[in-house]
Each structure stands twice: as C-alpha cells, then as structure tokens.
Structure 1
Amino acid sequence: MPIIPSGDPCPPQPSAGLTSDDVQLLDLLALHVICGQLREARR
C-alpha cells in the first residue's frame, strides 16, 4: 500500500466503501441525468 502524502488532492484509490457495482450504478445514473438535461436543453 503506497503512502499518500498529506495534501495530495487525488488519492490513487477510490473510497473503500464503494464496490465496482456501486461505481457502475453511479456512472449509469450520471449518464441518465446528463441525457435528461440535454433533452431539456433542446426543447
């Protein structure tokens, strides 16, 4: 496990509480929201 210096804005690993499934769900949700906003903007 690499030592992360304090003040590093971007740790190499995501928070341990998230599994890959959770990340996929968040990605899908983000895409859904973005697509919805694009549709609203086109009206």
Structure 2
Amino acid sequence: MHAISLNLYNKTKNNWIFINSRRATKLVHEFHRYWSEAQP
C-alpha cells in the first residue's frame, strides 16, 4: 500500500512540475513580449 501511494505521489509531483514549468515558460514569454513593447 505504502509503495503504491509513494509511486503515485512521485508521478503526480512530476506532472505538477511539468505543468508548472510549461506555465512558467508561457509567463516568461508573455512578460518578455510585454517588456519589449514597453521599451521606447
């Protein structure tokens, strides 16, 4: 039981990190575009 829950936890953690990194990458792109347009 414990091994199964630990395995599930690791999978969920990896998915969460993957999803968050994709979201962070998107945010960085948005911010960079905004920053570029803001420059005179």
Residue ranges of structure 2 left out of the alignment (5+ in a row): 27-40
Q: TM-score, structure 2 length as denominator?
A: 0.59
Query: Could you list the runs of 4 or more consecutive aligned residues of structure 1 that deviate by over 4 angstroms after TM superposition?
Result: none
Higher relative contact order structure (alpha carbons within 8 Å, sequence separation ≥ 6): 1
Structure 2 counterparts to residues 10-25 of structure 1, below 5 A: 19-25=2-8
Structure 2 CA distance for aligned equivalents of residues 19 and 33 of structure 1 = 21
Residue ranges of structure 1 left out of the alignment (5+ in a row): 1-17
Question: Are residues 1:27 and 2:10 paired?
Answer: yes
Larger CA Rg, structure 1 vs 2: 2
Which of the pair is proportionally richer in helix?
2
> C-alpha root-mean-square deviation of aligned residues, in Å?
1.1
- The residue aligned with 2:19 is 36
Q: Give the % identical residues.
A: 15
